[in-house]
Amino acid sequence: MSHLLAFDIPGGWGTTLGIKTLIVMGLIPVGALVLGYTFLLKMMSHMQSRVGPMDPGGFHGWFQLIGDGIKFIQKEDIIPAGADKRVFKMAPAIVVMSTFLMFVVLPAGPNAVVAGALHKGQGGIDVGIFYALAVSSLSVIGVLMAGWASSNKYALIGALRAAAQLIAYELPLVLAVVGVVVQAGTMNLQGIVFAQQQGKIFGWSGIGSPFILTQFVGFALFMVAAQAELTQPPFDMPVAESELVAGYMVEYTGFRFLFFFIGEFGTAFVYAGLAATLFLGGWSIPHVNGEIANWIGPIVLFVKIMLVAFLMFWARFSYPRLREDQLQALAWKWLIPISLINILVTGALKVAF
Amino acid sequence: MPSFGDSVKGMSKGLGVTLKTMLKPAVTVHYPHEKEEVTPRARGVIALKEENCTVCMLCARSCPDWCIYIEGHKEKRPARREGGRERTVSVLDRFDIDYALCMYCGICVEVCPFDALHWSPEYEYSEFSIASLLHDKEKLGEWEATVPEAEPLELGAEVKKAKK
Amino acid sequence: MTSFEVDPKLYSPLADSQLNVELDTGDMILNIGPQHPATHGTLRLVVRLDGERVIKADPVIGYMHRGYEKLTEYRTYPQITTLVNRIDWLSSFANEVPFIGAAEKLMNIEATPRALYIRTILTEMARISTFLLFLGEMGLQVGAITPAFFGFRDREYTLNLIESATGGRFHPNYNRIGGLKEDLPWGWVAECRNTMKKMLDSCDEFEDLVMGNPIFQARTRGIGIIPAELGASYGVSGSNLRASGVDWDLRRDGEPLLPYNEIEWKTFTHQDGDSFARYWVRLQETRESARMILQLLEQLPAGPIMAKVPRIIKVPEGEIYVNAENPLGEMGYYIISKGATGPFRVKIRTASFSNVSILPWLLQGIYVPDVITVLASLYFILGDIDR
């Protein structure tokens, strides 16, 4: 599969673009389903001393989420009477779109990267991580649109909370990544992976140099900020089931709600992918290069994504929720200063060594 | 506010609890495939032993929401002994319990002087229509087969003389 | 104390249309409930918001009024126990005891010691099952999903015990005037002992998962403070009042219905009076109840379960008020009897009603998320408010 992504397919750029689009469109819902099933249905259930769905599909209820998806598609698409119809309909699509756009820069092998692989050399676009974080904030617009257009007070409160929160946590997210960028010397995600694969720890290259060892502060910051960007507990005030019922999603039904669901878990998938790429070495295994890396790359990346996602969801299912002002205080008083110091130290060490 | 050290400790303890629970087996009973053991005292459904009923109406009167419907008539029966008087026997025509109304308090079972009503722990008799929850005397009689033996009592309980 | 008057406009179905159409920074009126997960039931809160800050909150009750006080006038005493079971449906057994106690006092009957002990054990078990649900539910309202399931899981063990003794999981209907319906089944005491040890463990689990969590503490400390005198003047009772530092427990201070003075136990008070204090007090009381049950099981006397009672129960003429410490606070029955098989009039004093009446004062000036925390920490049952 990675070859499809890597090389020009006979038929020109149009066919290539088409195939790539299909792959991305297919991978995000599948990733969302895998995360949703493994963590939301199964891991959460076991953490709560229950078993989750067991019957759908036969084996441990694997079909449950797909069945849910089918159910959502069948349901009536209700638009509230007072809603701004066009905006209301568009909002879920924008949220999902930002997820799709983020995914395209994620490399899954030396040649397998959706955006920019047509060029020889490293592949991937040069401002990869910059681009990914930039498009991730597009979802704020979708959330605001959803909240406003629903003409529901709960939705409005949820959307405004989401806007404040997502914007506040963009900053620590970006700043946490800067340390990695400084250390790798490139913003290209493919370059960051190579830097980790070929790096050395005090001259020993046994495990390469995954940045989680040198940038563990950055990793912690990234995980906290990503959790807030995903509006997951302990930062889930915008959706807050127990107070705002479901925040900006409260009026959505049917496949539009499904879009939000895919957006939520798809984005979790992508953020886990970004964290895996930035801090755990992405698709790479040290000393495995060449053709074989193209084949095992996606599998390695997937395993790492699941590891990171496990951490994310573990915290999600264990912690209560902060209040909105406490969340802002955490971002501005703690995360941003710490990330600035992290950048300073990284920069100083980079110059020194 | 707790100190930074306490915070980290508190946060990690929470994670520890969920992780520990995840590694232990779940407490779930896989209901349709396996069933939980019901205690013999459970008030699931009321069973009727028709031959014991004398249509005395005590249960119907003591029911707090009047969900028992009884109708009966009197019949003459030949005397037990030669030359004796003819007996009058009350015959049960209708004995319905509306489980849509029943509060499962058990007063009727307790008040019955002839042991015609018993509790059975059966609970799987849900219906799609509320009207079908009205169990007539044939259906209530079928439940009689599921009535468990009375349990022995705990140490220190006063053992009553067996009834009759 | 701030005076609190009701604005009739708040109840208009057109409340929204009265807001100014032009863009100004008007207040927003938010309806929390009657269908809202945080009000566990059908409490409605009409909240006037400035941003997310509550200017004024007004609880509207009565969505679940079932008329139990009136219904009791048409029923006999044994029938009424099934009704009072359903007032506070989480701790139904504790509701029966003061009612039966009142009737017994009017009739001058004393229940047998064994019956009183078993009543005490089951009342404390009702307390544990109620508080376990609270310990989980509070976590849920603050945003953590997992504690709620732990609460339900652990409560199930106590419910199983209640069921195997009484026959009913939620509505035991086990008390009779003069004693109990029947004695405990064989093996119950041993099982109860094991379960109580399990409950002590699960309290530790809640302490680690919820109470020790700094996020939980940040959300609950200093939020919804009930000053002791104000709380007492509103009629707040039970753990809510003890969390404000008033050491008042009807199990110890009231007229003794149950043999609490024969065992060793203590009450817990907290000086803060905030949501966290209420959680802390309830957690400690759950533990203490489990310890009390272990002691009671040791001392359980042998003997009959029923005193001598006339077959047809007629309560002599008279009036009486009997109260007891329900899990939620003070629960009392004022019974007027005219010598019939049923009471002439029953007034039920429920804990939640008084506990909730402090809400307008308590919710002023806090944020919407804290409204939910405060509601959860007060811990009311809608059936207990509306009766």
Residue-by-residue pLDDT tens, chain C, 387 positions: 344 555 555 545 444 555 545 555 677 888 887 888 777 778 888 888 887 788 888 888 888 888 888 888 888 888 888 888 888 888 888 888 888 888 888 888 888 888 888 889 999 999 999 998 888 888 888 888 888 888 888 888 888 888 888 888 888 888 888 888 888 888 888 888 899 888 888 888 888 888 888 888 888 888 888 888 888 888 888 888 888 888 888 888 877 788 888 888 888 888 888 888 999 999 999 999 998 998 888 888 888 888 888 777 788 888 889 888 888 888 888 999 888 888 888 888 888 888 888 888 888 888 888 888 888 888 888 888 887
Query: Is the pLDDT score of A211 beyond 60?
Result: yes
Kindly report the nearest CA distance between residue C125 and chain B, in angstroms.
Answer: 18
Mean pLDDT of A303-330: 87
Query: Is the pLDDT score of B160 beyond 70?
Result: no
Q: Does B6 reside within a domain?
A: no
CATH number at C148 reads 1.10.645.10
Please report residues of C whose CB lies closer than 8 A to that of B151: 185-186
- Closest residue, chain A, to B4 (C-alpha): A334
List the single residue in B2, B16, B106 with the smallest CB-CB distance to C167: B106
Mean pLDDT of A84-103: 87
Give me the residues paired with residue B22 across strands. Answer: none
Q: Does C12 reside within a domain?
A: no
Centre a 10 Å sphere on the Cβ of residue A14 and count the other Cβ atoms it contains.
9
Q: How many angstroms separate the CA atoms of C311 and C309, rounded? A: 6
Residues of chain C with a CB closer than 8 angstroms to some CB in chain A: 28, 30, 36-38, 52, 139-146, 149-150, 153, 209-210, 213, 215-216, 218-219, 367-372
Q: What does residue B156 show for φ and ψ, rounded to 5 degrees?
A: 90, -5
Please report residues of C whose CB lies closer than 8 A to that of A238: none
pLDDT value, residue A119:
46
Kindly report the nearest CA distance between residue A82 and chain C, in angstroms.
Answer: 12
Cβ of A47 under 8 Å from any chain B Cβ?
Answer: yes
Residue given tokens 């929160």 in the structure block = A165
Q: Does C34 reside within a domain?
A: no
What's the Cα-to-Cα distance from A174 to each of A137, A222, A330, C42, C326, rounded to whole Å? 11, 8, 16, 45, 54
Kindly report the nearest CA distance between residue C64 and chain A, in angstroms.
Answer: 21
Mean pLDDT, chain B, integer: 82
Are A47 and B30 within 8 A, CB to CB?
no
Q: Does C268 reside within a domain?
A: yes
Chain A, chain C: beta-carbon pairs less than 8 Å apart:
84
CATH number at B110 reads 3.30.70.3270
What's the Cα-to-Cα distance from C301 to each of A104, B80, C112, C262, rounded to whole Å? 75, 49, 10, 12
Mean pLDDT, chain A, integer: 81
* Alpha helices for B63-149 (secondary structure H): 107-111, 137-143
Q: How many angstroms separate the CA atoms of A272 and C19, rounded? A: 45
Q: Indicate the number of domains in chain B.
A: 1
Domain containing B107: what range? Answer: 45-68+96-146
| Sign of the four-CA dihedral C375, C377, C379, C380 | negative
Query: Is the pLDDT score of A61 beyond 50?
Result: yes
Q: Does B156 reside within a domain?
A: no
Cβ of B18 under 8 Å from any chain A Cβ?
Answer: yes
Q: What percent of chain B has pLDDT over 90?
A: 0
More confident residue, A45 or A58: A45
Q: Which two tokens stand for residue B148?
A: 């468990």
What band does A84 get if pLDDT is binned at 50, 70 and 90? confident
What band does B155 get if pLDDT is binned at 50, 70 and 90? confident
Strand extents, DSSP E, C183-237: none
Q: How many angstroms separate the CA atoms of C167 and C182, rounded? A: 10
Q: Does B58 reside within a domain?
A: yes
H and E: helices and strands count for chain A: 15, 0
Centre a 10 Å sphere on the Cβ of residue A203 and count the other Cβ atoms it contains.
5
Please report residues of A whose CB lies closer than 8 A to that of B19: 47, 314
Strands, sheet with C318-326, edge to edge from the N-terminal-most edge strand: C318-326, C329-337, C345-349
- Closest residue, chain A, to C147 (C-alpha): A48
Cβ of A317 under 8 Å from any chain B Cβ?
Answer: yes
Cβ of A317 under 8 Å from any chain C Cβ?
Answer: yes
Q: What percent of chain A has pLDDT over 90?
A: 0
Q: b vs e for C120-147, b when ≥16 Cβ sit within 10 Å of the residue's Cβ? A: bbbbbbbbbbbbbbbbbbbbbbbbbbbb
Mean pLDDT, chain C, integer: 84
Query: Is the pLDDT score of B107 beyond 50?
Result: yes
Query: Is the pLDDT score of A345 beyond 60?
Result: yes
Rounded to 5°, angle at Cα C132 from C130 and C134: 70
Q: Indicate the number of domains in chain C.
A: 1
Residues 170-229 of A with CB under 8 A from C: none
Report the neighbours of A using a cutoff of 3 or more CB pairs below 8 angstroms. Answer: B, C
Domain containing C232: what range? Answer: 70-353
Query: Is the pLDDT score of B154 beyond 80?
Result: no
Q: Does B131 reside within a domain?
A: yes
Give me the residues paired with residue A204 across strands. Answer: A201
Query: Is the pLDDT score of B163 beyond 50?
Result: no
Q: Does B50 reside within a domain?
A: yes
pLDDT value, residue C7:
57
| Sign of the four-CA dihedral A207, A208, A210, A213 | positive
Query: Is the pLDDT score of A1 beyond 60?
Result: no
Q: How many angstroms separate the CA atoms of B96 and B124, rounded? A: 18
Q: Does C65 reside within a domain?
A: no
Kindly report the nearest CA distance between residue A324 and chain C, in angstroms.
Answer: 8
Q: Does C145 reside within a domain?
A: yes
Q: Does B14 reside within a domain?
A: no
pLDDT value, residue A112:
65
Residue given tokens 């753990």 in the structure block = C239
Mean pLDDT of B69-95: 81
Q: What is the ipTM of this complex?
A: 0.79
